[in-house]
Amino acid sequence: MFKIVKRRTPTGRIVLVRGRKRPRIAICARCKKPLHGVPIKIPSEIRRLSKSKRRPSRPFGGYLCSSCAREYFREKARKIGG
Ligand SMILES: [Zn+2]
């Protein structure tokens, strides 16, 4: 959660402070492309957002990108259809 960073004080001294780690952008689990519609925020900030702003509401939203999800649904439909 926290990472030690060097910060210069107004007097010129360099001190070590605990800075917050920046959250990473969400990526697709299959093609590793960055996902759209997923905020780059820490979990406590994401909890404060409305539900519709947290991740896409479709199945696998926030886990697979739209094209990978589409491919997955097609594959699944083909298997059921025989
Ligand atoms: Zn993908």
pLDDT in tens, 9-61: 999 999 998 877 788 999 999 999 999 999 999 888 999 999 999 999 999 99
Residue pair 61/51 in contact by the 8 Å Cβ criterion: no
- Total domain count, the chain: 1
Q: What is the pLDDT of residue 76?
A: 92
Token couple for 11: 């007097």
Rounded to the nearest angstrom, the distance between the alpha carbon of 62 and the centre of ligand 1 is 11
Rounded to the nearest angstrom, the distance between the alpha carbon of 29 and the centre of ligand 1 is 7
Rounded to the nearest angstrom, the distance between the alpha carbon of 51 and the centre of ligand 1 is 23
Token couple for 55: 């991740």
Q: What is the pLDDT of residue 22?
A: 82
Q: What is the pLDDT of residue 82?
A: 59
Q: How confident is the model at residue 2 (pLDDT cuts 50, 70, 90)?
A: confident
Whether 81 has a pLDDT exceeding 70, the answer reads: no
In three-state secondary structure terms, 28 is coil
Rounded to the nearest angstrom, the distance between the alpha carbon of 21 and the centre of ligand 1 is 26
Whether 1 has a pLDDT exceeding 70, the answer reads: no
Rounded to the nearest angstrom, the distance between the alpha carbon of 16 and the centre of ligand 1 is 39
Structural domain of 68: 2-81
